[in-house]
Amino acid sequence: MTALLPLNLVLALVWVAVTATFTIANFLFGFLLGAGALWLVREQFSTRRYLSRTWSLLKLAVTFLIELTKSTWTVVKLVWTASPQYETGFVALPLRVRSDREITLLANLITLTPGTLSVDVSDDRSTLYIHALDAPDIESLRRDIATGFERQVREALR
């Protein structure tokens, strides 16, 4: 995949240059055309996984933006409440991701989401410790991370 993304970007730039229309929409259209062209020659360049991985990365980005918006709103409500009532706590999240880059991406996504902070990873890399600003239901938080970020990180990076 690492060699195909630059190739796809070059194809999009070529499209922009050929059409002489320098807009974001035209660049994105050229990127889609380039992805389609790479799909057509997937047997020669083994791009079979490239398109599905790109789709998985886009889904992960959208999920992150949605979670970022929801958690930001939750933290804003907690901060602006006259007498905030929240239950902070540490959560031990059993990991299904195994590689260093999967664990790092998951930990960073959790840390970048307001109200949660990745604190540590166990020595055997099987548990991620998270501090949550408001975690009244720890099992729900574990389930949300496992079925949201963690599942999509596995799809995008494997």
pLDDT of res. 46: 57
Given a cut of 60, is residue 8 above it in pLDDT? yes
Q: Is residue 2 pLDDT above 60, yes or no?
A: no
Is 21's pLDDT higher than 90?
no
Distance CA 13, CA 86 (A): 50
Mean pLDDT of the chain, nearest integer: 87
Alpha helix positions (H), 81-150:
100-112, 138-145
Classify each residue of 4-33 as buried b or exposed e, where b means 16 or more C-beta atoms within 10 Å of its C-beta: beeebeebbeebbeeeeeeeeeebebbbee
The CATH number corresponding to 59-157 among 3.30.70, 2.60.40, 1.10.10, 3.30.230 equals 3.30.70
CA 102 from chain center: how many Å? 10
Overall pTM > 0.85: no
Spatial CA neighbour of 64 closest among 153, 143, 136 = 153
Confidence of residue 90 (pLDDT cuts 50, 70, 90): very high
